[in-house]
C-alpha cells in the first residue's frame, strides 16, 4: 500500500509539472499491472520504448509493485497499441486502468 501511495505522489507531481506544457492534449493516465515486470533490464527497455513515442508525456514503472504508469495523448495512442508494445517485450497485463485527465 505504501508503494502505491508513493507511486501516486510521483504521478501527481509529474502531472503538476507538465500541466502547463500539455494543456492542448487529451491526457489519459494508464496504470498497468504487469506480473512479468521483474527485471531492471525489462523495465528500462519498456520505459525507453514508451518514452520514444511523441504522444507519451510520462512513463514510469515500479518493480516492487510490478506496475507501469503512462500519461499519453489518447488521440494518438490506443489501448491496442499499448498492449502491442507490451507484447513485443513478452509482457501481458493483468489489468489496465484508464483515467481521463481534465486540464
Task: Please give the average per-residue pLDDT across 17-37, as a whole number.
Answer: 78
We report the CATH number of the domain holding residue 51 as 3.30.70.100
The rounded distance, in Å, linking the Cα atoms of 37 and 9 is 21
The rounded distance, in Å, linking the Cα atoms of 7 and 46 is 17
* pLDDT, tens digit (0-9, with 9 covering 90-100), for 48-94: 999 999 999 999 999 999 999 999 999 999 999 999 999 999 999 99
pLDDT band, residue 102 (cuts 50/70/90): confident
pLDDT band, residue 22 (cuts 50/70/90): very low
Domain, as residue range, for 34: 2-100
Tally the domains of the chain.
1
* pLDDT, tens digit (0-9, with 9 covering 90-100), for 33-42: 999 999 999 9
Which residue, among 23, 21, 10, has the nearest Cα to 70 in the 3D structure? 10
The rounded distance, in Å, linking the Cα atoms of 74 and 94 is 21
Tallying the residues shown for the chain, one arrives at 103
Amino acid at each position: 500500500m505504501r508503494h502505491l501511495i508513493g507511486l501516486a505522489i510521483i504521478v501527481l507531481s509529474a502531472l503538476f509539472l507538465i500541466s502547463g506544457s500539455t494543456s492542448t492534449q487529451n491526457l489519459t493516465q494508464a496504470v498497468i499491472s504487469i506480473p512479468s515486470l521483474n527485471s531492471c533490464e525489462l523495465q528500462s527497455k519498456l520505459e525507453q520504448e514508451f518514452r520514444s513515442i511523441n504522444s507519451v508525456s510520462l512513463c514510469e514503472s515500479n518493480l516492487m509493485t510490478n506496475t507501469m504508469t503512462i500519461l499519453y495523448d489518447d488521440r494518438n495512442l490506443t489501448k491496442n497499441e499499448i498492449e502491442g508494445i507490451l507484447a513485443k517485450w513478452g509482457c501481458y497485463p493483468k489489468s489496465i486502468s484508464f483515467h481521463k485527465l481534465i486540464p
